[in-house]
Structure 1
Amino acid sequence: MPSPQQARAQASAITSGKTAPEAEAAPTSQLREMFDGPHLSPGQRRIAQYLIEHITEAAFLSITDLADRVGVSQPSVTRFAAAVGFSGYPALREKLQAIALGTLAGGPGVAEANRSNELQAAVDAEIANLENLRRDFADPDRVIRVGRELSQSSPLTVLGLRISVTLAEYFAYAARRIHPDVRLITYGGSVAYDALLQAHEAGGTWVLAFGMPRHHHETLTALRVARGAGMRVALITDLALGPLADEADVTFATGTGSRLVFDSYAAPNMMAAALLQAMTDADPERTWARLEEYEQLAEQHQFFMKD
């Protein structure tokens, strides 16, 4: 008789392949996909990030207004349009307007938004982040592939510094139930570098890193150390663009809630849970054996109270 957690592991296995397109990909995901391929200069990254954060307004700006908002020159906007695959700014703006109009058509009514208080607005923003992530999951194959890679890395290193510590701790705590060697790094500087190099020497091939705002140099340097040692990096962050993403082999960009004094992380937590599920699916025999062993220990030592 399987334990409840073993039953959940079986029942929630991810099905490969793209589902029926119930909705177009989230606007932020469409923009990140457009801007993620080319190698952009720092000024071009600023343009891309402004468009991602202000798509419904920015899509209707003239080239002069957009350049002024971002703080770059008009030729920089033209070069940006060419860098991301368009013949010029008019062609780029036409594409942006199509995305923006789709956003406005699917978004909540202004009247309803105005009726929300601050806490409700914060919840609404997180619901929107989760809706965007749901659209991204329409094709789960990348999650499945990376989960398989993380499952095969032994040891598997999980990195999260400062505000990202709790996300990394959650992932590492759960991953240890299904993976034999998970190493958690929550301190930066030479402590992180030593741990990364030791993990590599022990045979580790992957690092899963969390990089939530505010992004800081310790995480960036740690990722560079990992890649310099020959390890690959999967990154869960809020931006698909920027220095952290540049150091990652795979980036999962999810929105964070920023309506309150401290950010909230519903979507990054869901992204972490999805990778854990993919790791579970990657080696079901090992998963079953480890969960069974844990259930026996929990029963023997009475870890949990009876419901």
Structure 2
Amino acid sequence: MPDPTGFLDPAVGAAGSSTEQVLGLLDGRRLSPAQRRIGQFLIDHLAEVVFMSSVDLAERVGVSQPSVTRFATALGFSGYPALRDALKGIVLGSVGESPEEVRRNEFQAAIAAEQTNLEALQRLAAAPDRLIETGRLLAGSNPLVVLGLRLSLSVAHYFGYSAQRIHPDVRLISAAGTAADDALLQARQAGATWMVAFLLPRYAQEALTAIDHARELGLKVVLVTDNPLVPFAGSADVLLPAGVGSRLVFDSHAAPMVLASLLVQAIADAAPERTQGRLEAHESLSEARGFYR
């Protein structure tokens, strides 16, 4: 049976341990947490999985049988039988690994993927004019709106918390629906011209709706996402990509967090006197109130 992923090409399949090969099969796929649980089970129990039906696998993982089928198609296979055939090829061509080796390879692969994401971000920063200009634009928006929903909220919160130290009015939107609509309207009426939106996988539809509303109100959008080719790229006036790590059950956001720090730095550099004054005021307050130990 032909392999739609090309993963069973002898030149590909022969390289690396069985764990590395399964990780390669999963790498770069946009999988749900339930699908990643299935992927994790494959890594931990590969020799067993090749003898399991989709019903058996679903029962062992604790998901539905259709979830197993959707998992296989998400990897590019026609269905679970085709995926199982691919896994059999990996097992037959691999050397047995201990559970400790499996876990170590998995963790190391996750870190290596993050290193790749950071290297791509380093190339973006190597030509800093784009970041510098973006920082200037954001520094001039008063208020400055920040959007982050669901898992993207952690990066947006970090950016917003840091930016508040150097910018006079930063407004974080972390709730969707009418609450977001109200916050966007109030910010626009107060003079906001720019919004920074963090939209990382899995992409929340409610975040896309908020971005569309922001643009309808006349706000310009800096979009931080994982891939410059996302289908909603046209919603951004400035798009800044930062890859996410997809090797674990949930995405890791090392590169987006670094990009958030770079944006804060660019805002600070765009208004150095304001930045210095606000930082000194905060330090005086923190010392007087004993904020830190």
Pick one of 88, 111, 120 that aligns with 1:123. 111
For residues 70 and 254 of structure 1, the distance between their equivalents in structure 2, rounded to whole angstroms, comes to 28
- 2:126 maps to 138
Match of residue 238 from structure 2 = 250
Matches within 5 A, 1:1-307: 117-305=105-293
Please report the RMSD computed on the Cα atoms of aligned residues, expressed in angstroms. 2.2
Query: SS where residue 157 of structure 1 aligns?
Result: strand
Rounded to whole Å, the distance in 2 between the matches of 1:131 and 1:253 is 12
Q: What amino acid is the match of 1:263?
A: D
Q: 2-side partners of 1:149 and 1:245: how far apart?
A: 19
- State how far apart, in whole Å, the 2-side matches of 1:243 and 1:202 are: 31
- Unaligned runs of at least 5 residues, structure 1: 1-52, 55-68, 72-113
- C-alpha distance in 1, partners of 2:279/2:241? 30
Mapped to 1, the partners of 2:288 and 2:183 lie a distance apart of 33
Partner of 2:92: none
State TM-score, norm by structure 1.
Answer: 0.62
**Separation in structure 1 between the aligned mates of residue 226 and residue 77 of structure 2, nearest angstrom:** 20
TM-score by length of 2: 0.65
* CA deviation after TM superposition for structure 1 residue 253, in Å: 1.0
Say whether the 8 Å CA contact 1:220–1:243 is kept in structure 2. no
What is the alpha-carbon distance in structure 2 between the residues aligned to residue 200 and residue 241 of structure 1?
29
Structure 2: runs of 5 or more not aligned: 1-27, 30-75, 79-101
Query: 1:161, 1:244 → 2: CA distance?
Result: 16
| Deviation >3 Å, runs of 4+ | none
> What is the deviation of 1:207?
0.3
> 2:138 and 2:161 mapped to 1: Cα distance?
15
**Distance verdict in 2 for CA 1:221–1:115, change over 3 Å:** closer
Deviations 1:108-160 (A, max 9, x none): xxxxxx99611111011101110111112110100000011011100000000
Measure, in 2, the Cα distance between the counterparts of 1:258 and 1:152: 35
Partners in 1 of 2:206 and 2:285 — Cα distance? 38
Q: Number of matched residues?
A: 199
Task: State the 1:197 CA deviation.
Answer: 1.0
In structure 1, the residue corresponding to 2:246 is in which secondary structure?
coil
State which structure, 1 or 2, has the greater radius of gyration over its C-alpha atoms. Answer: 2
Q: 2-side partners of 1:144 and 1:265: how far apart?
A: 22
Q: Distance in 1 between matches of 2:103 and 2:264?
A: 38
| Structure 1 residue 241 displacement after superposition | 2.1
